[in-house]
Structure 1
Amino acid sequence: MKFIKTALLVISLFSVGFAQNIKKVDAKIDKVTVFLQQAQLEKSVNTSLSAGITKLLVDDIANSIDANSILVEGKGDFTLLAVKYSANHLNNKVLVLQDSVVKVQADIENLEMLFAVAQNEEKMIMANANVKSEKDGLLPEDLKEMIDFFRVKLTEVGARRLQIQRQMQPLKDKKIRLEKQLAEVRNNSLPLGQIELTVSASKATPANIKLSYVAYNAGWSPNYDLRVKDIKSPVAIAYKASVYQNTGIDWSNVKLSLSTSNPAISGQKMELNPQFLSFYVAPVVYQRNVKANKMDMEAGFATEAPAAMADMATASRTVAVVETGMTVNFDLGSTYTINSGGQPEMVEVQTYSAEAEYKSVIAPKLDLNAYLVAELKNWEQYKLLSGEANVYFENKFIGKTFINEQGVDNILKLSLGKDMRIVGKREEIENFKARKTIGSNVRESFGYKISVRNTKSETVKVVLEDQVPVSQDSDIEVDVEDIQGGTVEANTGKITWVFEVPASQSKEVLLKYTVKYPKDKRINNL
Structure 2
Amino acid sequence: MKIYLKSLLTLFFTKNSILHSTLGLGALLFGFHFPIFSQGQVKVDAENQHITVFLNRAQIDARVKTTVQAGTTKMVIGNVATTADPNSIQIGGKGDVVIMGVKFKQNYLGNKKRSVLEDSLKMAKTELEVVEVLVKVAENERNMLMANSNIKNEKDGVTPEDLKEMLDFFRTKLTEIGTRQMQLVRQSKDLQDKVNRFQQQLTSQGTNVNQPAGEIELTLQAKASSAVEVNLTYIANNAGWSPVYDIRAKDVKSNIDLAYRANVYQSTGIDWKNVKLTLSTANPAEGGTKPELYAQYVNIYESVVIQTKNARMMKGEAPQAMEMAAAPVAMADVSTTASFVNTVQSTLAVNFDISIPYNIPSGGNVEMVDIQNHSLRSTYKYYTVPKFDKDAFLTAIITDWEKYNLLPGTANVYFEGTFVGTTDIAGGEAKDSLLISLGRDKKIIAKRETIEEFKSRKNVGSNIRESFGYRLTLRNTKNEPISIVMEDQVPISQDSRIEVELEDAKGADFNRETGKLTWNLTLQPLENKEILLKYNVKYPKGKNIQGL
Question: 1:467 aligns to what?
Answer: 489
| TM-score of the two chains, using structure 2 as the length reference | 0.74
Q: 2: CA distance between counterparts of 1:109 and 1:515?
A: 82
Contact residue 320 and residue 332 of structure 1 kept, 8 A: no
Which of the numbers 489, 492, 499 marks the counterpart of 2:514? 492
Q: How far is the alpha carbon of 1:337 from its aligned partner?
A: 1.5
Residues 403, 428 of structure 1: CA spacing in aligned structure 2 closer, same or farther, 3 A cutoff? Answer: same
Amino acid at match of 1:99: D
Amino acid at match of 1:31: H
Question: 1:74 aligns to what?
Answer: 93
Residues 229, 52 of structure 1: CA spacing in aligned structure 2 closer, same or farther, 3 A cutoff? Answer: same
Question: 2:312 aligns to what?
Answer: none
Residues 183, 396 of structure 1: CA spacing in aligned structure 2 closer, same or farther, 3 A cutoff? Answer: closer
Of stretches 167-176 and 35-44 in structure 1, the one that deviates more from structure 2 is 167-176
1:110-121 superposed matches below 5 A: none
Is 2:383 the partner of 1:361? yes
Q: How far is the alpha carbon of 1:341 from its aligned partner?
A: 1.7
Q: 1: CA distance between counterparts of 2:353 and 2:449?
A: 56
Question: 2:315 aligns to what?
Answer: none
Question: 1:139 aligns to what?
Answer: none
Q: How far is the alpha carbon of 1:274 from its aligned partner?
A: 5.7
Which of the numbers 67, 71, 75 marks the counterpart of 1:52? 71
Is 2:323 the partner of 1:303? yes
| TM-score of the two chains, using structure 1 as the length reference | 0.77
Q: 1: CA distance between counterparts of 2:355 and 2:225?
A: 37
Question: 1:97 aligns to what?
Answer: 117
Residues 245, 313 of structure 1: CA spacing in aligned structure 2 closer, same or farther, 3 A cutoff? Answer: closer
Residues 105, 446 of structure 1: CA spacing in aligned structure 2 closer, same or farther, 3 A cutoff? Answer: closer
Amino acid at match of 1:244: Y
Amino acid at match of 1:181: Q
Question: 1:37 aligns to what?
Answer: 56
Which of the numbers 242, 252, 255 marks the counterpart of 1:234? 255
Is 2:284 the partner of 1:263? yes
Q: 2: CA distance between counterparts of 1:425 and 1:322?
A: 49
Unmatched 5+ stretches in structure 2: 1-33, 136-160, 162-183, 304-319
Residues 355, 430 of structure 1: CA spacing in aligned structure 2 closer, same or farther, 3 A cutoff? Answer: same
Which of the numbers 345, 366, 369 marks the counterpart of 1:344? 366
Amino acid at match of 1:412: L
Which of the numbers 225, 239, 249 marks the counterpart of 1:218? 239
Question: 1:390 aligns to what?
Answer: 412
Is 2:496 the partner of 1:477? no
Contact residue 42 and residue 73 of structure 2 kept, 8 A: yes
Question: 1:450 aligns to what?
Answer: 472
Which of the numbers 210, 216, 230 marks the counterpart of 1:209? 230
Amino acid at match of 2:100: L
Question: 1:154 aligns to what?
Answer: none
Deviations 1:400-431 (A, max 9, x none): 11112232211111000001111112233344
Q: How far is the alpha carbon of 1:379 from its aligned partner?
A: 0.5
Q: 2: CA distance between counterparts of 1:77 and 1:502?
A: 82
- 2:62 is paired with a residue whose SS is strand
Contact residue 206 and residue 363 of structure 2 kept, 8 A: no
Residues 508, 173 of structure 1: CA spacing in aligned structure 2 closer, same or farther, 3 A cutoff? Answer: closer
Contact residue 411 and residue 422 of structure 2 kept, 8 A: yes
Question: 1:289 aligns to what?
Answer: none
Question: 1:194 aligns to what?
Answer: 215
Deviations 1:368-400 (A, max 9, x none): 110000010011111111111111111111111
Q: 2: CA distance between counterparts of 1:459 and 1:59?
A: 67
- 1:68 is paired with a residue whose SS is helix
Q: How far is the alpha carbon of 1:176 from its aligned partner?
A: 4.8
Contact residue 94 and residue 185 of structure 1 kept, 8 A: no
Contact residue 372 and residue 416 of structure 1 kept, 8 A: yes
Of stretches 263-272 and 195-204 in structure 1, the one that deviates more from structure 2 is 263-272
Amino acid at match of 2:517: I
More helix per residue: 2
- 2:368 is paired with a residue whose SS is strand
Q: 2: CA distance between counterparts of 1:273 and 1:301?
A: 30
Question: 2:457 aligns to what?
Answer: 435
Question: 1:506 aligns to what?
Answer: 528
Q: 2: CA distance between counterparts of 1:424 and 1:203?
A: 87
Deviations 1:144-199 (A, max 9, x none): xxxxxxxxxxxxxxxxxxxx999999988665543443455574412122111122
Q: How far is the alpha carbon of 1:215 from its aligned partner?
A: 1.9
Q: How far is the alpha carbon of 1:354 from its aligned partner?
A: 0.2
Q: How far is the alpha carbon of 1:251 from its aligned partner?
A: 1.7
Deviations 1:411-461 (A, max 9, x none): 111000001111112233344433333333333232323222211111111
Residues 48, 165 of structure 1: CA spacing in aligned structure 2 closer, same or farther, 3 A cutoff? Answer: farther
Contact residue 64 and residue 248 of structure 1 kept, 8 A: yes
Unmatched 5+ stretches in structure 1: 1-11, 116-133, 135-163, 284-299
Contact residue 242 and residue 347 of structure 1 kept, 8 A: yes
- 2:201 is paired with a residue whose SS is helix
- 1:380 is paired with a residue whose SS is helix
Q: How far is the alpha carbon of 1:101 from its aligned partner?
A: 3.9
Residues 370, 271 of structure 1: CA spacing in aligned structure 2 closer, same or farther, 3 A cutoff? Answer: farther
Contact residue 478 and residue 515 of structure 1 kept, 8 A: yes
Amino acid at match of 1:72: I
Deviations 1:224-262 (A, max 9, x none): 111100000000001111112222222222212211122
Which of the numbers 346, 357, 362 marks the counterpart of 1:335? 357
1:139-288 superposed matches below 5 A: 176-184=196-204, 187-188=207-208, 189-272=210-293
Q: 2: CA distance between counterparts of 1:268 and 1:518?
A: 56
Q: 1: CA distance between counterparts of 2:531 and 2:348?
A: 47
Q: How far is the alpha carbon of 1:103 from its aligned partner?
A: 5.2
Residues 507, 110 of structure 1: CA spacing in aligned structure 2 closer, same or farther, 3 A cutoff? Answer: closer
